[in-house]
Amino acid sequence: MTVIISGKHAVLELLRAKKRKCYEIWVAQGKKEKLLTEIEEAAKRNSIPVRLVKGEKIASISKIDKHQGVAARVDPFIFSSLEESIKAARADAKKGFLVILDGILDPQNLGSLIRTAHLCGVHGIILPKDNSAPLSEAAIKASSGATEYLPIIEVTNIVATLKQLKESDFWAVAAVGETDKSLYQFDFTGNNYVLVLGAEGRGIKRLVRENCDFLLSIPMLGKISSFNVSVAGAIFMSEVMRQRFFRSP
């Protein structure tokens, strides 16, 4: 069984990472762009066939509109082990940082959060097997190839996973709207943390929230209710990265 991914960055990073096998690539005829040239050159180095076809053909293969003129047939995504991800996170001198996505149903938000997590040094993203957007072609494209580098873990029960993480010396932080405790008043250094982000509108499920150690919010100055979840996640992850890597002594 193979799957299709599309988008210039997603296909290029797949070839660079070599995390899973690529069998063939389709490129739209007449497209002359730097990234497409890099894709063709990387495919040639790895003896992967590149087929020049009409854009309509790529659209029919990829099943998404914004395919950017390129698609690839690859092995299915390989999920990581929770135990191995915990071990790797705890081995970091800066301490572990994992993210749980509780009920993120929009593939664009999922992909955006994966991209941000990779860029902010997160050790792994944890997704529930049910009640979550799948790691689809659209989500992978939205991640700009970050899925090929960041460990992503599927679990059957978030509450049980939180308990396992706590037993492994992680503290759980929930991103919520209704608390006076600001993200910027919290120290993310010196301990292992797992950040929990909830779905648009509904937020974090009650039992999941009750199993978190800290509830933090993002201060806001405007009149509307909240940030989009991918933006909120980016703010939280960026603050953790700032404290751990870029804070002045």
Q: Per-residue pLDDT tens for 74-89?
A: 999 999 999 999 999 9
pLDDT score recorded for residue 76:
95
Q: Give me the pLDDT at residue 162, please.
A: 98
Joined together, the tokens standing for residue 98 give: 């994992």
User: Which pLDDT score, from 0 to 100, does residue 249 have?
Assistant: 61
Rounded to an integer, what distance in angstroms lies between the CA atom of residue 60 and that of residue 72? 13
Instruction: Report d(CA 77, CA 14) in Å as an integer.
Output: 11
Task: Write down the pLDDT at residue 25.
Answer: 96
C-alpha atoms less than 13 angstroms from C-alpha of 25 in its C-beta half-sphere: 30
Specify the pLDDT at position 194: 98
In this predicted structure, what is the pLDDT of residue 137?
A: 92
How far is the first Cα of the chain from the last one, in angstroms, to the nearest whole number?
52
Segments of the chain scoring below 70 in pLDDT:
248-249
> What is the rounded distance in angstroms from the CA atom of residue 61 to the CA atom of residue 78?
22
Span 3-74: which CATH code?
Answer: 3.30.1330.30
Tell which residue, 79, 137, 82, 127, has the closest CA to residue 103.
127
Q: CATH 3.30.1330.30 residue ranges in the chain? A: 3-74
Burial readout 107-125 (b: 16 or more C-beta within 10 A, e: otherwise): bbbbbbbbbbbbebebbbb
Q: What's domain 82-246's architecture?
A: 3-Layer(aba) Sandwich (3.40)
How many residues in total does the chain contain? 249
Q: What would the pLDDT profile of 103-124 be if each residue is shown by its tens digit?
A: 999 999 999 999 999 999 999 9
